[in-house]
A and B are shown apart, each in its own frame.
Chain A
């Protein structure tokens, strides 16, 4: 009997736990559940409450920001979207994954007019088309646009140690190569470290392609169209092999370190902060964000890059990144009044730049303020900000309620580091819009529906994976992957035979023509 009783108790407990409802009274503010884009960055419970109350006071809306852990965050997001709480807003790298059969998104077409300030930011960047489908329905708020962030940065202090004058700074591929070999030979002299890393990259071919491919092929790192009107991917261009051979030569000659391909993001950042790197074709944010640490390690360190872009044989080497269909997405099941409430919050955050910045780092006056001391009235106009000393005593807060719409807002301020130097990330982020300094993608403005692509071409995703994995093997010169024309052509032929490359191209062409109205 005792056993039965405890069994019943256990079942009762079970029932209660499973059935806990959320009772909302009529007077409560509207609640919106958001998964913000950034992962956890150490916000304390008080900091979170403070910002949540701030938004509540100013808009009457209670926003729950469900911040993800840095590890497994894609899994977590999917689990949350599948879970019991209704998630109203979230960010994703491709809205098409949630549309279509999944039918999870709310059509935002009629809501756009409510957020003039927010959308105003996007006017110059043309982001809206990345979230609009062929029927004109809008499935989210834009997050990306065409951007340039693969400048090759060079250490100015190294160049000076080698005796370069400013007009000799590398602006072409030939000059860059000369510099790299010089730096390698000069290792251990003149202040150049003995373990210098002439050129650092990320552990994949993409970064090198975006940096240099434009100098070897007609279209750079972009899809292109052959004489028969077939859209083909970038690696089928004439000149790609030559590019690959050049990169491999650099690796064989020690310009790019052997181990570089095994370094993960954090190792690359550590290297950039250590002072060993003479030139970088890694992701420029890595470099910019580490600049403070670099300066702490090597006080005279300074980075330089030709703003107008580097060239090879007169061609721009860098390729623009085509805007992805990333978006701020809204749940179809969210009632309209909740959407209105959230959009009110967005407008609040974007109507005044100070609000947006506060959502990022904490309240104005407590954590930061315009640096009118040093820069006078201009500070407020140009959004020159500084962190306040009182910030150290405030509860920790960072980014939980920062609902980013990307580049437009990030580029809209000026920040200086403690020693009066403009924060490098802040300085360079505005250059991400310098589309004159890099080759534009051939199919700019066309957003391929990857869901349809994978649907219709069975091997599409495997093809893309194969490219990533195999090109890097050629780069590394693994056995069986010697970089001869023969091997490369055999590889391409294999793509046609085993991975349906022809069907892939035909499907892309079909989508391209449809998008262009042909």
Chain B
């Protein structure tokens, strides 16, 4: 124990700059394109955030960033005073929470079920099928959703009609739109999200289960006392990390499925930013709203990582 620690210390000992450059000359050169890329495509745009504090004209280019009038918190104030703020924040959080409540446990349940049955072929088939939606692009999934929920030959409405009901225009109705988003998310992610739990479950010693069987344990005993405790750390970690993303209600899906009729319940911060910015050309206003969301997200992510570390897990870094 002590010896390897010493060895670690030797390896991790920092070289001086000169020594490092000498030893790793080529590697530093290799690093240049990557670092430049980050600076160009990640850091440079960050400077563009300044337009959230100015009255920036959309066609004035980079020069415009320096010549535009400074207005400080104006756009932020405007956003919070407007009816939009409440609706967007509420929608973003509500949709995100609904997705969390439905999709998070479902992936775990799927993993538990897969883990519970014997045999491999059936298991593998189900798994393969369940991962499939993850590989479809958001547009494809949205298109499938549109097609099967349509009132013009869509599968779901035909089932409803067969059961004697009236066809429902799901994508146009404030009552159902959030439900559609949640179910779509479930459909797309349940398989992929179960992987991490299954991976953790492979670490469980089968002897434990056998011993439990011998003891006469039923299935729920096994799950409660063996499976769940083994994946509890992973569950907590995933939950905490997921909470860090609470402001992200899922732009891609929403953008491809929403329409003016469902702005009331379906418009989230990201879609509003897109509309305000690219369609209405209110660059400053859109950027301000985005800054607000990014800051809140940042706080949430840092907070959740902090908690994760407290729990003894590694966090993202």
Contacts and interface: CB of A to CB of B under 8 A. Distances in A.
Contacts, number: 52
B278 A101 contact: no
Interface stretch (A36-44, A73-81, A280-288, A322-330): A73-81
A462 interface: yes
A101 B57 contact: yes
Given A262-B261, A459-B78, A462-B84, A101 B279 contact: no
Interface string B52-80: 00010111100000001000001001100
A84 to B, nearest CB: 13
A97 B281 contact: yes
Contact of A75 (B57, B74, B81, B278): B278
A78 B58 contact: yes
Contact of B83 (A100, A455, A462): A462
Nearest to A75: B278
B33 interface: yes
B55 A7 contact: no
A115 interface: no
Given A7-B33, A262-B261, A101 B55 contact: yes
Most buried by A among B55, B74, B78, B82: B82
Contacts of B169: 262
A472 B213 CA distance: 64
B83 A102 contact: no
Contacts of A79: 278
Nearest to A81: B59
Contacts of A458: 74, 77-78, 81
Contacts of B172: 262, 264
A78 B278 contact: yes
Interface in A244-288: 262, 264
A462 B81 CA distance: 9
Interface string B173-192: 10000000000000000000
Contacts of B57: 100-103
Interface in A465-498: 465-466, 469, 498
A462 B82 contact: yes
B279 A74 contact: yes
Contacts of B58: 78, 82, 102
Given A74-B279, A262-B173, A101 B81 contact: no
Nearest to A473: B264
Q: How large is the interface on A (under 10, 10 to 19, 20 to 34, 35 or more residues)?
A: 20 to 34
Contacts of B82: 459, 462
A98 interface: yes
Interface string B32-68: 0100000000000000000000010111100000001
A459 B77 CA distance: 10
B61 to A, nearest CB: 9
Contacts of A97: 281
Given A97-B281, A458-B78, A459-B78, A102 B59 contact: yes
A462 B87 CA distance: 13
Contacts of A98: 59
A477 to B, nearest CB: 15
A74 B58 CA distance: 14
A187 interface: no
Contacts of B83: 462, 465-466
A498 B85 CA distance: 13
B59 A104 contact: yes
Interface in A436-478: 455, 458-459, 462, 465-466, 469
A98 B281 CA distance: 10
A82 B283 CA distance: 13
Interface in A207-253: none
Contacts of A498: 81
A88 B249 CA distance: 40
A262 B170 CA distance: 11
Contacts of B173: 262
A102 B279 contact: no
B289 to A, nearest CB: 13
Q: Among the interface residues B57, B59, B78, which one has the most CB atoms of the partner chain A within 10 A?
A: B59
Given A262-B172, A458-B78, A78 B84 contact: no
A74 B264 CA distance: 22
Contacts of B81: 458-459, 462, 498
Interface string A52-78: 000000000000000000000011001
A391 B259 CA distance: 38
A458 B259 CA distance: 26
Given A458-B81, A459-B81, A75 B59 contact: no
A82 B61 CA distance: 9
B59 to A, nearest CB: 5
Interface in A82-130: 82, 97-98, 100-104
Interface string B236-279: 00000000000000000000000101001000000000000011
A102 B74 CA distance: 20
Given A7-B33, A462-B84, A101 B78 contact: no
B261 A75 contact: no
Interface in A162-195: none
Nearest to B281: A78
Contacts of A82: 58-59
B255 to A, nearest CB: 11
Interface in A1-16: 7
Interface string A358-377: 00000000000000000000
B278 to A, nearest CB: 5
B197 to A, nearest CB: 39
B60 A101 contact: yes
A249 B281 CA distance: 39
A360 to B, nearest CB: 28
Contacts of A103: 57, 59-60
A458 to B, nearest CB: 5
Contacts of B74: 458
A74 B281 CA distance: 10
**Which of A81, A100, A262, A459 has the most chain B CB atoms closer than 10 A to its own CB?**
A262
A102 B282 CA distance: 12
Contacts of A78: 58, 278-279, 281
B260 to A, nearest CB: 9
Interface in A27-55: none
Interface of B: 33, 55, 57-60, 68, 74, 77-78, 81-84, 169, 172-173, 259, 261, 264, 278-279, 281
Given A78-B278, A79-B278, 12 more contacts: A75-B279, A78-B279, A78-B281, A101-B68, A102-B59, A103-B57, A262-B261, A458-B78, A459-B78, A459-B81, A459-B82, A462-B81
14 contacts: A75-B278, A78-B278, A81-B59, A100-B57, A102-B58, A102-B60, A103-B57, A103-B60, A262-B169, A264-B172, A458-B78, A462-B82, A462-B83, A462-B84
Q: Give 8 closest A-B pairs by Cβ, nearest first.
A: A462-B82, A101-B57, A102-B57, A102-B59, A262-B172, A75-B278, A74-B279, A458-B78
Interface of A: 7, 74-75, 78-79, 81-82, 97-98, 100-104, 203, 262, 264, 455, 458-459, 462, 465-466, 469, 498
